[in-house]
Amino acid sequence: MTNERGRQIADWLAANKHPVRYAVVDDLDLGITAAGHPLVQTDGHVGLTDADAEELVSVLSPDVVTKESCCDCGEDYPRHERLRGEIFCFTCRRK
């Protein structure tokens, strides 16, 4: 089944305590992006390249944004980061 890997990853994340930020590194997208997982897709004949590693660092690095860019939690200096394409406030713990 073409979406099996994406489902397996979702099941594992649901059953285990996982980090807030993660990425999947794979040479095939077997439902990984369809399931909403961040994917760094490699070439199966080449392996992990410097460009792939840079993309992975970019995906895993927080993108800090200002309070005006997201929720109004009432704090003077809340911490906001872009996670999986969404802005998340670490002060009020919401998107």
Q: What is the pLDDT of residue 39?
A: 92
Whether pTM exceeds 0.75: no
Distance CA 18, CA 26 (A): 18
Residue 73 CB-half CA count within 13 A: 20
To the nearest whole percent, how much of the chain has pLDDT over 70?
Answer: 60
pLDDT at residue 47 is higher than 90: yes
Instruction: Give the distance, in angstroms, between the CA of residue 15 and the centroid of all CA atoms in the same chain.
Output: 17
Domain boundaries along the sequence of the chain:
1-61, 63-95
